[in-house]
Chains A and B, each alone.
Chain A
Amino acid sequence: MRSTRACGSGANSMGGSDARGTPLVRVENLSIRLPVGGDRPFAIEGISFTVDPGEIVCVVGESGSGKSVAANTLMGLLPQGLKISSGRVLLGDEDLAQASAARMRALRGREVSMIFQEPLSALNPLYRVSDQITELLGAHGAYPGKAGRQRILDLFGYVGLPEPERLIEAYPFQLSGGQRQRVVIAMALALEPKLILADEPTTALDVTTQAQVLDLLRKVRKDLGTAILFVTHDFGVVADIADRVLVMEKGRLVEAGAVEDVLRRPQHSYTQKLIGAVPRLEPLDLPPPGDEIVLAAEGVDKRFGTPGGWFRKARHVHAVAEASFTVRRGETLGIIGESGSGKSTLGRSIVRLIEPDAGRILFRGRDLMTISSGSFRSERKHLQMVFQDPLSSLNPRKRVRAILTDGPVAHGESRAVAEVRAAELIRLVGLTPAALERFPHEFSGGQRQRIGIARALMMEPDVIVADEPVSALDVSVQAQVLELFNELQQRLRLAMVFITHDLRVAAQLCHTVAVMQRGRIVEYGPTASVFADPQHAYTRQLFAAVPGKAFDSWRK
C-alpha cells in the first residue's frame, strides 16, 4: 500500500541534504497504545509510511482517526498516557522512538518543527511575537544577539507579513488570524528544518486567508525543500497541496497513494465514503419554494460599541448595515460570509436574540420590531434557531426528553401532547425513541446536532435560523445532517435562513444566497446564478479561494 514515488521539485535547493529517493521519514509498523478503558486499544495500529525530502504528504481522516497522534509522534510530543508500543520512527537513520529526551529537544524546532491549528492559542498571548521566535533561536544557540533580530525581520518578510519592522513589536492579539498563522510559520521556518508537521493549519482560517497560507506553504517547499506532513480533514485542501495522501480510519492506515490516484480512484470503501460526502460546488436542483413570503428583513442595522467615558473615546463597529432580504415558504436563504462579516449578528437579529438598532423584520407581514415583548414571546415559537456547537447549546444536565418538551410546555402546551411530538420528531431526525432518556454527552456530534434540530422543530416553527450548524461536524456526518435539513424542509415547508462560511455547503441547500462583507450584503440572488456568474468582486474572490477546484473536476 505504501507508495515510494519520489517528489522532485526543489528537493535539493536548501536544507535537504538527503539524496533524492531516500526517504526523510520512515515510519515502520508503528503502534501506539491508548490507556486502558478507551474506546479502542490502539490510538495508532501498525501504520507504515514514508515522507521524501521536499514532499508534501497529507494525512486525512475524521476526528478520532489518530491522524494528529501520527504527526505528534514525529515530534516526540505524545499526550500524557500515550506510549509507542512497537515500531520504528526513523528521521534519516535515527530512530526517534529510541531517542533520549535531550536528543529530542535538540531536534525539535531545528530538524522538525510544527504548525498548529489555532494560531492564536499557539502563541503565548503575554509575549511579543518576536520574543517567542527569539526564544526558539536561543534554545538552539542560533543567531545570537543582533543577528536574531535580523533573522526575524527576514523571516517576517519571507512569509509576507506587512511592515516587519512594526510587527516585530506586536503582541499576538494585535494581529489578524492570517498574520498570526504567518508568524507561526515564520517560527517553524526559523532554523530551516527538514520537516514541518502541520496539524490542520488552515482549518481555523477564513477561506481567502486559507488560500494564501496554502500558497505560502507551497512556496516554502519550493524554496527551501522542506518536507511537509500536513494533517487535515478537508479533501479540497488535500487536492490543492498534497503530493501524496494517507487516509486514516480509527488508527489504521487504510489507503495511501499519489493525490490524483487516491482522489480520482479511491480503492478503500472508507475513502470512497469520505470523498463521496464532500459537498460539490455546483448548486443542487432543489424543489421550488412557495409564493408566500414568510420572513422579510428591511434595512436591518446594528452597531456594536463601547460607550465613551470620562477618559475614553467611544468605539463602534458597524456589524450589520442596512440588510434586506425575503424568505418564502419552503425556501432556504444562505447567508455567506467570512468571520466578522456580520452574518451571525444578522441571523440573531432576525429572532431578536440581538436587538437591531434600526430596520424592520416582517414575519408573515407583521413587524416584529414594533410589537411588545409580551406578544413577541408568543411569536418567538414560530422562529427557532439551530446553533453551531451542538454540545454547548444543549443543557448538559437535562435528558433529551426535557430538552425537547420544555419549550412547548413553557408555551402552554400539555406535557402529554409535547411528549407524543417529541417521540415523533426524534424518529424524524433519525434517532430512536430510546434517545429521549439519555443526556446530551452520551451522543456523538452529529447526533447532538439532530437533537438540536428536533428541539427547534418541537415548537412547530415557520422559520428556522441555522448558524453554521454543520461546521463542527466531520464530513460524512455533515453530509447526513445536510440531507436531513433538505428532507425536513421538503416535508415541513419551512422557511430557512442558513448561515455558513462554506460555499460548498450553501450549494447543497440554498435557493438564494446573500454574500456579506463587513456588515453589508454585497451580492444577493438565486444560488444558481450567483454561483455561475458572481457579480461583486468580493464574491469572485471568495469563489477563487475555495480549495479543491481540481478535485471537483476530477469527480465529474
Chain B
Amino acid sequence: MPFVTFLAGRIFKALLVIVAIAALNFLLIRLAPGDPASVMAGEAGATDPKYVDMLRARFGLDQPLWKQLALYLGQIVQFDLGFSYRNQVPVIALIGERLPATLLLMASSFVVSLVLGLGLGMAAAGVRFFGRARWLDSAIMSIALIFYATPLFWLALMMVLVFSVQLDWLPAFGMESVGANLKGWARIVDIAQHLVLPTLALSLFFMSVYVRLARAAMMEVMTQDHVRTGFAKGLTGGEVLRRHVFRNALLPIVTFAGIQLGQVAGGAVLIETVFAWPGIGRLMFDALLQRDYQLLLGVFLVTSATVIFFNLLTDIAYRFVDPRIRLEGGAR
C-alpha cells in the first residue's frame, strides 16, 4: 500500500476515534454524582438553591444532555476546549501552559529508558551470543528484575531521601528553583537538575521492560537460520549481531515503545505529584477533585489524542523496520 494512502486512511480513522472518545468522556463524566455548580456553591458556603440554579444556567448545565453534548462537540471541532470557571481561564491556555513540562519529562524518560534498556538488553544477549562472560547476563537480568518489581512511588521517595535529603546533590521537587529567576543557560542547567530524579524514577521500570524485551527478542532471532547464513558469509560475530540479530529484534521493541509513549502522558500523575512537577498529570488530578468538567474533558482529550498520535507513529515505524509491512499488497 502506498504510504500516502496508508497515512490518509489512518489519520481519517484517528479523527473519528477522537470524536468518539470526546463524546464518551462527556457522557461518562455526567455519571458521577454532583456537578461543578453544587461543588462551587458548597465551597462558597451557599446553600440557596436559587444560587445553584443560577450557576447551572451560567454553565449551561440546565440544558438537556444531548444539547450539551452537541454544543461540546461543536466546540471541539473548532479547537475550542471550553472555559475553566474554577480558574477563570480558557482550558486550552491551562493545558498549553502545563503540557510542555509533561512532554519534557516524557521525552527524557523515554530516551533514558530506551537507551539504557536496549544497551543492557543487547549486552545481556550479546554475552550469551558469544558464549562468554555469562555472569554479566545474570547481573543485568537481576538488576532489571529488581527495578521491574519495585513500586514506582517507593523508588521515587527513596531517591528523594538519598539524593536530595541525605546527599543534597539534586533538588527534591519542582521544575525550577523558586524565586531564582534564572535566564538562558543557567535556567536550562537548573531545569536539567530538577529533571534528573523524576526522569530516573519514571525510567527505571520501563528500562527493565526494555532489557527483558530486547534480550528475549534477540535470543529468539539468534536461533534463526539467517544468523547462520551470516556466519556462513564470513561475517564477524559483531557484524552478525548488529545487522542480523539486533535489527530483526526491533519489532517487539517498537511495539512497546509505542505503548510507553502513549502511557506516559496519563501515567505521569504519580511522579508529577511526588516531585511536584507542574505537568498535565497534576492538572488533571486537581481538575478531578474540583469537578472542573471542562478542564477534565480537555485533559482527557489531549491525552487520548497523544495515545492515538503515538500509535500512528508506531505503525509508521513498523513500516520502516519491516519491509513486509511496508510492501504488503504491493507490487510482486
Contacts and interface: CB of A to CB of B under 8 A. Distances in A.
Is B a genuine binding partner of A?
yes
Nearest to B245: A124
A126 interface: yes
Contacts of A105: 234-236
A31 to B, nearest CB: 21
Interface of B is mostly: helix
Contact of A126 (B236, B247, B329, B332): B247
B46 interface: no
Interface in A74-113: 75, 77, 80, 105-110, 113
A118 B248 CA distance: 18
B144 to A, nearest CB: 24
A109 B233 contact: yes
B234 A121 contact: no
Given A126-B248, A139-B233, A116 B225 contact: yes
Interface in A125-173: 125-128, 132, 135-136, 139-140, 171, 173
A128 B327 CA distance: 12
Interface in B276-332: 321-324, 327, 329, 332
Nearest to A107: B234
B113 to A, nearest CB: 25
A184 B228 CA distance: 13
Nearest to A120: B225
Interface in B230-285: 230-236, 239, 243-244, 247-248
Contact of A80 (B131, B225, B244): B131
A116 B233 CA distance: 13
A286 interface: no
Nearest to B8: A311
A315 B329 contact: yes
B235 A122 contact: no
A124 B244 contact: yes
B51 interface: no
A114 interface: yes
B327 A106 contact: no
A519 B232 CA distance: 39
B332 A77 contact: no
Nearest to A80: B131
B327 A174 contact: yes
Contacts of A139: 233-235, 239
B232 A109 contact: yes
B169 interface: no
B121 to A, nearest CB: 19
B130 to A, nearest CB: 10
Nearest to A77: B231
A117 B226 CA distance: 11
Contact of A135 (B235, B329, B332): B235
A310 B243 contact: no
B321 A310 contact: no
A184 B329 CA distance: 24
A316 interface: no
Contacts of A132: 229
Contacts of A124: 226, 229-230, 243-244, 247-248
A491 interface: no
Contacts of B228: 77, 114, 116, 122
Counting chain B residues whose Cβ lies within 8 A of the other chain, the interface size class is 20 to 34
A126 B321 CA distance: 8
Contacts of B229: 114, 116, 122-124, 132, 184, 187
B234 A106 contact: yes
B194 to A, nearest CB: 41
Nearest to B226: A124
A122 B225 contact: yes
A312 interface: yes
Nearest to A140: B234
B66 interface: no
B231 A108 contact: yes
A171 B6 contact: no
Contact of B323 (A118, A126, A140): A126
Contacts of A109: 232-234
B9 A108 contact: no
B185 interface: no
A75 B248 contact: no
Contacts of B243: 124, 127, 135
Nearest to B239: A139
Contacts of A140: 234
Contacts of B79: none
B1 interface: yes
B5 interface: yes
A311 B321 contact: no
A110 B324 contact: no
Nearest to A174: B332
Contacts of B332: 174
A311 B4 CA distance: 11
Contacts of A310: 9, 12
Nearest to B330: A174
Contacts of A315: 329
B75 interface: no
Interface in B26-55: none
B9 A311 contact: yes
A108 B321 contact: no
B225 A118 contact: yes
Contacts of B150: none
A75 B232 contact: yes
Given A171-B323, A171-B327, A173-B324, A136 B247 contact: no
B232 A113 contact: yes
Contact of A125 (B5, B239, B248): B248
B63 interface: no
Q: Give the one of B247, B248, B323, B324 with max A CB within 10 A.
A: B323
A108 to B, nearest CB: 4
B330 to A, nearest CB: 8
Interface in A37-78: 75, 77
Interface in B1-17: 1, 5-6, 8-9, 12
A127 B248 CA distance: 10
Contacts of A75: 231-232
Interface string B175-209: 00000000000000000000000000000000000
B224 interface: yes
A135 B233 contact: yes
B322 A121 contact: no
Contacts of A80: 131
Contacts of B226: 121-125
Interface in B121-166: 131
Interface of A: 75, 77, 80, 105-110, 113-114, 116-118, 121-128, 132, 135-136, 139-140, 171, 173-174, 184, 187, 309-312, 315
The 8 closest A-B pairs by CB, nearest first: A311-B9, A121-B225, A108-B234, A109-B234, A136-B233, A124-B226, A114-B232, A109-B233
Given A110-B234, A124-B230, A135-B235, 18 more contacts: A77-B232, A108-B232, A108-B233, A113-B232, A116-B225, A116-B228, A118-B225, A122-B228, A124-B226, A124-B229, A124-B244, A124-B248, A125-B322, A139-B233, A139-B235, A139-B239, A174-B327, A184-B229
22 contacts: A75-B232, A105-B235, A113-B232, A114-B228, A116-B225, A117-B225, A118-B225, A122-B225, A124-B226, A124-B244, A125-B322, A125-B323, A126-B321, A126-B322, A126-B323, A140-B234, A171-B323, A173-B323, A187-B233, A309-B9, A310-B12, A311-B5
